[in-house]
Structures are given as C-alpha cells and as structure tokens.
Amino acid sequence: MQLSFIIVLIISIFISIFAIQNGGKVTIDLFFARYSVSQALVILISVGSGALIAGILGAFKRLKKSKEIRDLTKKVKSLEDESAVLKEKLKDEENDKEELEILNVDLKEELKKNKELLAELKEFDNKRNEAEKI
C-alpha cells in the first residue's frame, strides 16, 4: 500500500512539473463551443479524469472480487458442512459394517453348529432306518 502511494506521488509530481512547464494558452473546441484555457489546466484535468475513471473501474473490480470471495466463502462453508455430514455418515456406515461383520461371524458359527446338528440328525435317522430294517 505504501509503495503504491509513493509511486503515485512521484508520478503526480512529474505530471505537475510537466503541466507547469507547458502552461501556455490553448483553444479547446468542445461540441459547438470554444474555450481558451491554460494547457496546464487541460493536462491536470485530463490526468485527474483518467485517475478518477481508473479509480472507479478499480472499485468496481474490487467490489466484483469481494462478491466473488463472499460467494466462494459461502460455497466453501457449505462444502465443509456437507463434508462433515458425509464423514459422520461414513463413520456410521463403518460402525454398521463392523456390527455386520460380527453378526456374520456369529451366523457362520451358528450355521456350522446347525450343519453339525443336521449331520447328527442324518446319522441318527440312518441308524433308526437301519434299526427299523432289522
């Protein structure tokens, strides 16, 4: 900020010196009117107008960037919130997965026991059928 101020100040001094050195009268035709004014005044008004226009355009650009930053900040906040929700869902899903894995192990053990019981029942049924045949 200070560097840009110093640069603008130096440029302004050079423009002022240039305007003072070129202080003769000039005739300006503006539409249907003629004006006779100091060339220094014309230079200073031209530079001032240019600076004002540049300042206005710069202000619009800053406002546009500021709005863009606000919008992006809102979007980032929204995405962070969504990320937090998704992380929570992922954590819940991982917990559910662990519970299902434990349940799966339990069911496999129960299936194994049921197969053993089925084998015993088949063996018992075979023995009973053999006993009935005798």
The domain in which residue 62 lies consists of 2-133
Number of structural domains found in the chain: 1
Average pLDDT, the chain: 89
Q: What is the pLDDT of residue 48?
A: 87
**pLDDT per position as a tens digit, 36-82:** 888 888 888 888 898 899 989 999 999 999 999 999 999 999 999 99
User: Which residues, 6+ apart, have CB-to-CB distance to 117 below 8 Å?
Assistant: none
Q: What is the pLDDT of residue 111?
A: 93
**Residue owning tokens 């002022």:** 16
For the entire predicted model, the pTM comes to 0.53
Lowest mean pLDDT: which of 16-25, 60-69, 87-96?
16-25
